[in-house]
Structure 1
Amino acid sequence: MQQELKLRIVSGLILAATVLAATWYGGLAFRILAVVIGLLIYYEWSQITGVARDWVANVVGWIGEAAIAFLVLVGNFEFAAGMLAGVTAVGIALIILHGTSRWLPVGLFYAGATGLALAAIRSNDQPGLYAMLFVFAVVWATDILAYFVGRALRGPKLAPSISPGKTWSGAIGGAVSAVAAGVLLAHFLLPGTEVVAAGVALILSVFSQSGDLFESFIKRKFGVKDSSRLIPGHGGVMDRVDGLIFACFAAFLLATLFSLIKGAGMTSLGAALFGL
């Protein structure tokens, strides 16, 4: 047990250092990290859902994910978004024409959107760095406080059929702490954006907890404990970033909406997320 705990701590520290270093440097370094996370998620998804056992779906899926990854790597986020939509549509067509599992297009979108959202939010500017740190802070505050508040107060279950350990008290506690963390970070990094940050943090916290429930649902449906064994002592990539994925989806959609309203395109989603 002690050996497993040590392995968990060491691998966790290495992961945290890698993610924070890539976040700090931004640019290509972070885009590589985002693409790797997206591709590993697709690998785990295809294994869990059985998509990998259908060779047609497997080949089409990997080609599609590789195309999205390439466009994200070169920083062409608008084309990557179009490719994501096209690849997902192909996955749906395969269900009709080939009888492919319905989990193929879901996985294609889930994995592809992960890499795209991460890279587009971070971008290569200072607001992108602040936005990414903001998302991390909100997700971590949600996870940590939801756990401790839930254990302390207990009460009615949030979704007993999906994740029996989660409670409404934990969910509310996580959301409140996420708003507090988001407002505090915004106050120091971008003074004057606290009101917008509070609203965005609440939305991201709700999505983060939904992402956690979604992965619990998938693992329960397919009877697996961990998404994979890729991370020593931690299970798989999906196990570690389930809440972050949904929070990034929400941040990406909100920032894109704000950018479209201002007519700014997808050039600086980090700034758009704070209403700048």
Structure 2
Amino acid sequence: MSNLQLRVISGIVMAAAVLLLAWLGGLPFRILSAAIAAAVFYEWCAMSRTSANPAYQALSAILLAAALIVLVVGFPAAIVFAVLACAVVASALTGLIRGQGTWTTVGLAYAALSGVSLAFLRDADKSGLMAILFLFATVWATDIFAYFVGRAIGGPKLAPSISPGKTWSGAVGGTVCGMIAGLAVAFFAGGNLLTLVPVVFLLSVASQIGDLFESWVKRRHRVKDSSNLIPGHGGVMDRVDGLVVAAFALYVIGALLGGADHPASSLFPA
């Protein structure tokens, strides 16, 4: 089986599993969100293991686990963020005391915020389902079409020192197609398209920034993939790099408009 075939099969299986859990919402999706956060943090630490103190990473992993348990159990956003803030502070102080800096702490915050954003966006109601499908459609279409448009058209590089394969044509093509996909979901979900146009544009751009950020992290540690957990795709970070940043952006927008516990209600009123 070729790598492309393996990649396609793995992608279909992953997408089907994620969409099923998104449909179920509630506890199943919170568990998925926590699992994504845990996997991202594991890969973050694995990439920097040679330059980080194992005890510092282990303590940070325990602190992250505490925040994710609170999330999965279903506590309100205020409590989840309070526990997460304490975890980040404790991890940062440990790193500074041990002379390790705060790289692992940054990974803890990056991973945890991705899981928290996804979990609270989905929540357990119809608005949450529409918001998460809107997010998935935008990010996945942006990623797919940025690749194919970039390969078809080529042209000037977007960020050659970070990711030499990405082009401005791919970025623009991905943004346009991502916006079309996101707005199509919003249309069928009954969302306010005029309001969601700037939101979907921001999400598409945020997802590409997330992709570039992960490329920079991998280049910093001289690795090709974040891990080999997913056949044909590399690691979890390789697959959710754009999603986690876009999810956080959408969560912040929704939280500012409708509240931290039910951010989707302001974007897709039931």
Q: Normalising by the residue count of structure 2, what TM-score does the alignment of the two structures yield?
A: 0.94
For 1:148, the equivalent position in structure 2 comes to 148
- The two structures, once aligned, show a CA RMSD in angstroms of 1.7
Letter in 1 for 2:246: A
Instruction: Give 3-state SS (helix, strand or coil) of 2:165's partner.
Output: strand
Does the 8 A contact of 2:127 with 2:269 survive in 1?
A: no
- Percent identity, aligned pairs only? 46
Q: How far apart, in 2, do the equivalents of 1:52 and 1:32 lie? A: 31
1:189–1:52 CA distance, 2 compared to 1 (3 A)? farther
Does the 8 A contact of 2:92 with 2:101 survive in 1?
A: no
Q: How far apart, in 2, do the equivalents of 1:179 and 1:85 lie? A: 33
Does the 8 A contact of 1:156 with 1:167 survive in 2?
A: yes
Gaps spanning 5+ residues in structure 1: where? 260-264
Q: How far apart, in 2, do the equivalents of 1:241 and 1:152 lie? A: 24
For 1:271, the equivalent position in structure 2 comes to 265
State the 1:3 CA deviation. 4.5
For 1:10, the equivalent position in structure 2 comes to 9
Gaps spanning 5+ residues in structure 2: where? none
- CA deviations 1:157-193 (Å, max 9, x no partner) are 11000011111121111112222222221111124x1
For 1:258, the equivalent position in structure 2 comes to 257
Does the 8 A contact of 1:228 with 1:235 survive in 2?
A: yes
For 2:27, the equivalent position in structure 1 comes to 28
1:210-229 aligned within 5 A: 210-229=209-228
Instruction: Give 3-state SS (helix, strand or coil) of 1:30's partner.
Output: helix
Letter in 2 for 1:92: A
For 1:262, the equivalent position in structure 2 comes to none
Q: How far apart, in 2, do the equivalents of 1:209 and 1:133 lie? A: 18
State the 1:243 CA deviation. 0.6
Instruction: Give 3-state SS (helix, strand or coil) of 1:215's partner.
Output: helix
1:8-157 aligned within 5 A: 8-50=7-49, 53-76=52-75, 77-157=77-157
Instruction: Give 3-state SS (helix, strand or coil) of 1:165's partner.
Output: strand
State the 1:16 CA deviation. 1.4
For 2:159, the equivalent position in structure 1 comes to 159
Q: After TM superposition, which residue ranges in structure 1, 4 or more long, deviate above 6 angstroms?
A: none
Does the 8 A contact of 2:139 with 2:242 survive in 1?
A: yes
For 1:196, the equivalent position in structure 2 comes to 195
- CA deviations 1:52-88 (Å, max 9, x no partner) are 9513212221111111111110122321112222212
State the 1:94 CA deviation. 2.1
* Worse overlay, 208-217 or 248-257: 248-257
Q: Normalising by the residue count of structure 1, what TM-score does the alignment of the two structures yield?
A: 0.92
